[in-house]
Amino acid sequence: MSRRLEPGRLIAATHNPGKVAELKDLFEPLGFTVVAAGELNLAEPDETEFTFVGNALLKARAACLATGQPALSDDSGIAVEALGGMPGVFTADWAGHPRDFYVAMEKVERELQAHNAINRKAKFVCTLAMVWPDGYEDVFEGEVHGTLVWPPRGERGFGYDPMFVANGETLTFGEMDPAKKHAMSHRADAFAKLKAALL
């Protein structure tokens, strides 16, 4: 049995502005005030786990410990079928430092060409982890499946959105109206499960 999450201040354990914007879109209409770890100058923990769940819990635990308040984290990425699920948990790492997701998208395309991959199936994966100060934890996972296009299209969204077309759609997430993307994304899928359990 999951515990209830009461509206109010919610710590988002992320320094990614794109994720913060999407989490605000999801939570603020329900009475939450989303405050990002970056706004609080919290240290960004090293993501040392090898699964989305592991990294999501690591980040949420760090933010909860630092603030003494319930914290939500989002670990997400893209898994490309022909690349054995890569970049997966290394999704952001493929963008380098400082992060440049056009570099990351080019790397994905180079790897697909190097593998002579006809299969361009991919999925975005999102894990939302909720951690309370007493140590209680909940985890919710969501996915959206699609195919990769080249060259990238669209200036909306973030990350790998301009090269991802969800199944049944013709526009990339980079071209799509943000409200439509949010309604069908991996994050929306995970959030629907969180909402059913906690809200």
Residue 3 in any domain: the answer is no
Check residue 16 and give its pLDDT: 86
Q: Measured between alpha carbons, how far is 71 from 152 in angstroms, rounded to an integer?
A: 34
The CATH number given to whatever domain includes residue 98 is: 3.90.950.10
Q: How many domains does the chain have?
A: 1
Q: Which residues of the chain fall short of a pLDDT of 70?
A: 1
Which one of 75, 138, 161, 189 is the catalytic residue? 75
Query: Does 1 reside within a domain?
Result: no
Considering the domain boundaries, does residue 4 fall inside one? no
Percent of the chain surpassing pLDDT 70:
99
For residue 24, how far is the Cα from the chain centroid?
13
Query: Would residue 75 show up in a list of annotated catalytic residues for this protein?
Result: yes
Q: Is residue 20 part of a domain?
A: yes
Single-letter amino acid code for the residue at 79 = A
23 three-class SS: helix
Task: Determine the structural domain holding residue 134 and report its residue range.
Answer: 9-198
| 28/6 Cα distance (integer angstroms) | 12
